[in-house]
Amino acid sequence: MPHVRQDTSTVAASFRARSKVAPRTPDALPEGAIGIAAITSCTNTSNPHGMIRAGLLARAAVARGLQSAPWVKTSLAPGSTAVTTYLARAGLLAPLEALGFAVVGYGCTTCAGKSGPLKPLAASAVEQEGRTIAAVLSGNRNFDGRIHRLVGANYLCSPALVVAFALAGRVAIDIDRDPIARDRNGAPVFLRDLWPNDAEVEAVVRRTVTPEVFVSTAQPSPLVKASWDALTAKRGVLFEWDATSSYIVEPPFFSADHAGFASAGRVEGARVLGIYGDNLTTDHVSPGGEIPSDSPAGQYLQSVGVKPAAFNTYVGRRGNHHVMMRGTYGNVRIRNRMADGREGWWTTIHPEGELMTIPEAASRYRARSVPLIVLGGRNFGAGSSRDWAAKGPALLGVGAVIARSFERIHRSNLIGVGVVPLRFGDQDSVEALKLVGSEVFSFEGIDQCIAARRPIGVTVRRSNGAELSLAVTADVRSDAEAELLRSGGMFQAALDAALA
């Protein structure tokens, strides 16, 4: 096979390692069934060679009488209308549509958790039988729980491979060697039978992907222009907030008091809101996709009259801090070690030992004036640099995160909102110190130690009264970052500068 296609021989083994395979019955989905196959993400749909290759593969499949597996939800969501323009010019849009890859929109869809409901057979296999199904997409993110709450394994592929896997209907095959389908005569069809060669792809690209394609699509359509022209907006020095909006709400960043932890000489009585393992992603901390109706954010939206069908996504609601706060540490796949084995938005409040949602616990602690911290492992905040993964914890009242190490951009984002990134000593960790979340933490000399880059003394009192001492170090790299923390974050620093 040409070098442009990645090796997929380990996909089947990877899926089997994480899937729960139900006994096969005549009506059951195959092992490794695919629930979603999406050509999506502006990142990869902006590659003309990749998109033309997908179209040529689709044309070859249609010529053999193939169809996408009936349980697979297929979609095409380019980042630009230029893509559909040159696909149509090449005569490749129609075969893609014949396989179910019709345009559902332009921009972020499946890659941002906006695929909508699965097909009934796939959904029931998960919800009724406990099966694990997969998604294949040409996106650039496949964090746990991001693509769809019912999909347990997400694989990133080229657009052409997305089409090929949709034909196969499952990932538990060696797509290099196994037949992916049978044609109208019952003969096996292999990927090599459909895969276009590089010369064919290059010839179509040269003929159809021309400068005028991009020039023509740069102009808005009459419908789009008319829609924008019809919009009205009030004019004035200050923005007028709409009290009835559930999308754009006046944020509390300039009115809330975020100063305290980093500027304090001593912080006593801090409690743990959550304990997380290595490589906790920003998608775990602040999910971007579907808002479940039983989640704290979903419950809030329903309380203000928004029906579940109109929830949109967390990313779509990112202008509403009431939603985003309630989504913090709320990915459906996040595992808080203080949640008694449950996935999702749960923690245990102390000293009661009662299981409750993260936002409810944070609210109770705030009413008691209890400082909050979060504990983590290595590479805390991995993945995309989502700003709400820092803003959400800050609004919940988290003053510091203690971890083995931090992803570099997330570390900066925490500092930007006044949350102190603290690192365990080389020999210390949640596991080594046997921390379970019922402990009370006290910090000594925080402000001076941050300024001087010295270790901060910490006393930990366990629920049985036993105490241990350790030292943590603020992961601060410059005087500017230290000053930003002392100010309580960028919002307070900007306000102080304006007032001065």
Per-residue confidence (pLDDT) for residue 326, from 0 to 100: 97
Q: Spell out the residues 6+ positions from residue 470 whose beta carbon is closer than 8 angstroms to its own.
A: 424, 425, 428, 433, 458, 460
- Separation of alpha carbons 141 and 287, rounded Å: 12
Q: Please, is 40 exposed, middle or buried when counting C-beta atoms within 10 Å of its C-beta (0-12, 13-18, 19+)?
A: buried
Q: What Å distances lie between residue 38 and 68, 87, 336, CA to CA?
A: 12, 16, 31
Look up tokens 């089997």; give the residue. 16
pTM for this model (two decimals):
0.84
Sorted by where each starts, the structural domains of the chain and their CATH numbers stand as: 11-217 (3.30.499.10), 266-499 (3.20.19.10)
- Within a 10 A sphere around the Cβ of 341, how many other Cβ atoms? 8
Nearest to 358 by CA among 420, 314, 296, 313: 296
Amino acid at 234: K
Beta-sheet pairing, 134-137 with 153-156: parallel
Amino acid at 71: W
- Separation of alpha carbons 398 and 407, rounded Å: 18
Residue 500: HSE in the Cβ half-sphere, 13 Å Cα cutoff? 6
Q: Three-class SS string for the chain?
A: CCCCCCCCCCHHHHHHHHCCCCCCCCCCCCCCEEEEEEECCHHHHCCHHHHHHHHHHHHHHHHCCCCCCCCCEEEECCCCHHHHHHHHHCCCHHHHHHCCCCECCCCCCHHHCCCCCCCHHHHHHHHCCCCCCEEEECCCCCCCCCCCCCCCEEEECCHHHHHHHHHHCECCCCCCCCCCEECCCCCEECHHHHCCCHHHHHHHHHHHCCHHHHHHHCCCCHHHHHHHHCCCCCCCCCCCCCCCCCCCCCCCCCCCCCCCCCCCCEEEEEEEEEECCCCCEHHHHCCCCECCCCCHHHHHHHHCCCCHHHCCECCCCCCCHHHHHHHCCCCCCCECCCCCCCECCEEEECCCCEEEEHHHHHHHHHHCCCCEEEECCCCECECCCCCHHHHHHHHHCEEEEEECCECHHHHHHHHHCCCEEEEECCCCCCCCCCCCCCCEEEEECHHHHHHHCCCEEEEEECCCCCEEEEEEEECCCCHHHHHHHHHCCHHHHHHHHHHC
Per-residue confidence (pLDDT) for residue 202, from 0 to 100: 97
Per-residue confidence (pLDDT) for residue 258, from 0 to 100: 52
Q: Spell out the residues 6+ positions from residue 226 whose beta carbon is closer than 8 angstroms to its own.
A: none
Contact 476, 482 (CB under 8 A): yes
pLDDT tens for the chain, 500 residues long, are 333 344 444 544 454 444 443 333 335 789 999 999 999 977 778 899 999 999 999 999 999 999 999 999 999 999 889 999 999 999 999 999 999 999 998 888 888 778 888 999 999 999 999 899 999 999 888 877 788 889 989 999 999 999 999 999 999 999 999 999 999 999 999 999 999 999 999 999 999 999 999 988 887 778 888 999 999 888 899 888 998 999 999 998 887 555 579 989 899 999 999 999 999 999 999 998 889 999 999 999 999 999 999 999 998 999 999 999 999 999 999 999 999 999 999 999 999 999 999 999 999 999 999 999 999 999 999 988 789 999 999 999 999 999 999 999 999 999 999 999 999 999 999 999 999 999 999 999 999 999 999 999 999 999 999 999 999 999 999 999 999 999 889 988 888 888 87
Per-residue confidence (pLDDT) for residue 249, from 0 to 100: 94
CA 353 to chain centre: 30
- Separation of alpha carbons 168 and 174, rounded Å: 11
